[in-house]
Amino acid sequence: MPAYRYQVRSSSGQTVVGVLPADSASAAANLLRAQGNHVLALTPIQAGSAGGSLLKRIGELNSGKPTLKHVLDFTTQLAVMVRAGIGIRSALEGIAEQTEHTKFKQIILGLKTDVESGKQFSEALGRHPKLFNALYVNMVRASEMSGSFGKMLDRIASYTAQQIETKKMVIGAMIYPGVIATMAVAVTVFLLTFVLPRFGQVFEGKEAVLPWATTFLMALSAWMVLYWPYLVGALFGVGIGLFLFLKTEVGSWWFDNMKLRVPIFKRMFKALYISRSLQTMGELINAGVPMLDTIAITGDIAGNKLYKKMWRTVYTSVKQGKKIANTLLQTKLLPHAVVQMIGAGEESGKLGEVLDEVAAYYTKQLRDAIKAATSMIEPVMIIIMGSIVGFIAMAIILPIFKMSQIVR
């Protein structure tokens, strides 16, 4: 017989934890309630969990955290099963059996247990905020009240798929310059530490006739060869320091601000934040989520602290009875034309439809901005890399050419 680990609040108000054998989670919950307890948590104990094999434990450690792709697959499967008339408990059990990711499988089984214990599905999802964000939970909650659970899951799956695609496009655009920059640094270090030292004996004793560029590079090369451990340590320290700085409130504000100021990337990031904000807001409004909750969630999902602050200001204004467009007119983060369309949507009562159209337009703008940034980065990086390599090559060739003329 399966066993369940429970956590209950007794009639005296004390929290009690224990293990209870039962045929199912619902039977265990009913038994605990019959004893006058309020069930707080009920988790199935997997068979053999106390002495599981070493290979299984290693596999669990290597499985990693569930990703947005796992959430998309889960939502898509659940939508299909719900539309087919399968109950939520049976659907969760069936999806869990097909899920190979160990940690995500445990989460799905936990959702099933919560539903069997009497919790709403949205409440069960809310216990995993890192995996199911506020938008996901609120859209599910709205569908539970309206009775459109299957259709809402389709909308969530479509939204999640688009967010994954957008994330891939942005990461792809950032990888290319990173690879080129890494190659430029690697080639420069190779020339300074392996190539230039070979010419040290050739130029020895002829420092008076060497150009300043050659003298500078030879001194830099000798310093790098001699003190490379300190250089590596310093670079590592700077990297760790920068990472920790960006984790702070000041550092994250600075980084988010720089994303909107760097000439090549600012158009891309601005289109990203606008499309994400408006699409999120449109989805929530169309799902029937209250406006204040919609604005708060939009700010949290925007992905940039400047946009988050903008939506918080809108939240405060709407709470005071003002219109969204009137507040957005005071910011430079949204184009004036977008604010006008939001105002028109408010006046006509079709704000959700307007936001969907504007979000779709800015998603296309994002794709164009990524292509433009990639096409601009390529020649810039080639020019920079060529200039560095060319400068080093000329610093080596010029003195050799000059010395050959002196010999003649």
Pairing of strands 38-45, 3-9: antiparallel
Mean pLDDT of 239-264: 91
Which one has a higher pLDDT value, 105 or 54? 105
pLDDT at 286 over 60: yes
pLDDT band of residue 215 (cuts 50, 70, 90) is confident
Instruction: Determine phi and psi for 61, rounding to 5 degrees.
Output: -70, -35
Question: How long, in residues, is the chain?
Answer: 408
Which pLDDT belongs to residue 51? 42
> Which tokens is 328 given?
């957005």
Distance (Å, whole) CA 68 – CA 48: 30
Closest listed residue to residue 137, CA positions, set 120, 150, 154? 120
Which pLDDT belongs to residue 159? 87
Which pLDDT belongs to residue 303? 85
Mean pLDDT of 56-76: 73
pLDDT in tens, 324-375: 999 998 888 999 999 999 999 999 888 989 998 998 899 898 888 888 887 8
Arch. (CATH architecture) of 169-408: Up-down Bundle (1.20)
Residue type, 174: M
Which pLDDT belongs to residue 199? 74
Which pLDDT belongs to residue 306? 94
Residue 40 DSSP label: E
Closest listed residue to residue 20, CA positions, set 35, 12, 231? 35
pLDDT at 50 over 60: no
Mean pLDDT of 301-312: 91
Closest listed residue to residue 114, CA positions, set 29, 35, 8? 29
pLDDT in tens, 78-111: 888 888 788 888 888 888 888 888 889 889 999 9
Q: Output the CA torsion sign for 239, 244, 245, 251.
A: positive
Which pLDDT belongs to residue 155? 87
Which pLDDT belongs to residue 257? 93
Which pLDDT belongs to residue 295? 92
> Which tokens is 189 given?
């270090």
What is the percent of the chain where pLDDT is above 90? 20
Mean pLDDT of 299-312: 91
pLDDT band of residue 311 (cuts 50, 70, 90) is very high
Which pLDDT belongs to residue 63? 56
Closest listed residue to residue 71, CA positions, set 119, 15, 128, 21? 128
- What's the mean per-residue pLDDT of the chain? 83
pLDDT in tens, 125-181: 988 988 898 888 888 888 887 777 888 888 888 888 888 888 888 888 778 778 878
